[in-house]
Amino acid sequence: MSSQAPSLGQAEGSARQPRLRWLSEVWSSTVGKKLIVGLTGVILVAYVILHMLGNLKTLQGAGAGEPAVNTYADWLRTAGEPVIPREGVLWFVRAILLTALVIHIVGVSQLIKRNRDARPPGHRETKVIQRSWASRTMAISGFLLLAFIVFHVLQFTTLTIHPTPLAEGQVYANLYDAFQEWWLVVIYVAAVVVLGFHLRHALWSVLQTHGFDAPNRNPTFRRGANATAILITVGFAAIPIAIFAGLLPEPHDDFSTITMTVSGK
């Protein structure tokens, strides 16, 4: 006979194939993509909250010796030593965040495209009712936040952009010098306001996507999303505003020598 029964190896391969494809199938479906986008969003929001709490150490000022925010930044670089190489934990976290950010952006972009493709051509300009301003501008606010993230990383992480003097490890002085410039204060405060609007809708949306919403719980969830967005906005904005308003002391004098060396002035 020309036909033969599949071998044991072929049968096992056929049995394994669906299990190897499950993640791709989840990503291909609209519901699965929304779930993954929501999960990556939760990762990013968790980082934003932790980042804000760490940045608030700036409000402790220059300190008697080393500023508290400098000590915190140094701890991030040395966490896990000597078992883990210097900055090992930091780069691990960065890798997770970058992966989550890329997946989040790609997923959101594909969902937007699917939503537009599903509309008949004659109805693309139809007004959508019962949608907040924040929900209608999620794509725009997301793009603005991405541009700000790139600017922020180039300025304070890689020290590539330095409109004001910057020095490695001198976080407090870097922030203090930068936020003496009104236009940098405007950029950062505007960015965190956009972040607040973006998070307000994103937090509420992820609860709906993952099936947590219910008529008896929705008011609490909405208040929680609003409160979280406001706290994050105020927490981030407080630093540039406090520095520009002169509420925080100048960094120690020895920073001037460091900045002159690093900035080449």
What is the DSSP secondary-structure string of 147-166?
HHHHHHIIIIIS----SS--
Q: List the CATH number of the domain containing 253.
A: 1.20.1300
* Residue whose tokens read 């883990």: 84
User: Does residue 242 belong to any structural domain of this protein?
Assistant: yes
User: Does residue 11 belong to any structural domain of this protein?
Assistant: no
Measure the CA dihedral 67/47/89/99, to 10°. -140
CA angle 161-238-73, nearest 5°? 55
| Low-confidence residues in the chain, pLDDT < 70 | 1-20, 120-135, 210-211, 213, 253-265
Q: Does the N-terminal peptide bond of residue 82 adopt cis geometry, omega within 30 degrees of 0? A: yes
| Token pair in block for residue 7 | 């071998």
**In which region does residue 87 sit, left (phi positive, over 0), alpha (psi from -120 to 50) or beta (all else)?**
left
User: Does residue 115 belong to any structural domain of this protein?
Assistant: yes
User: Does residue 126 belong to any structural domain of this protein?
Assistant: no
What pLDDT is recorded for position 201? Answer: 85
Instruction: Determine the residue type at 193.
Output: V
Give me the count of residues in the chain: 265
Whether the model clears a pTM of 0.95, i.e. scores above it, the answer is no
Quick one: which of 153, 135, 161 has its CA closest to 191? 153
Cα-to-chain-centroid distance, residue 65: 31
Indicate the SS3 state at residue 23: helix
User: Does residue 15 belong to any structural domain of this protein?
Assistant: no
Q: Which residues contact 226 (CB under 8 A, 6 or more apart)?
A: 200
What pLDDT is recorded for position 77? Answer: 93
Q: How many domains does the chain have?
A: 1
User: Distance (Å, rounded) from C-alpha 29 to C-alpha 209?
Assistant: 14
From residue 112, alpha-carbon distances to 118, 135, 209 in Å are 10, 12, 15
Residue 93, domain extent: 30-119+134-263
User: Does residue 103 belong to any structural domain of this protein?
Assistant: yes
What pLDDT is recorded for position 257? Answer: 44
What pLDDT is recorded for position 203? Answer: 86
User: Does residue 222 belong to any structural domain of this protein?
Assistant: yes
| Token pair in block for residue 140 | 């725009």
User: Does residue 22 belong to any structural domain of this protein?
Assistant: no
User: Distance (Å, rounded) from C-alpha 265 to C-alpha 85?
Assistant: 33
What pLDDT is recorded for position 16? Answer: 54
The DSSP-derived string for 128-144 is PPS--HHHHTHHHHHHH
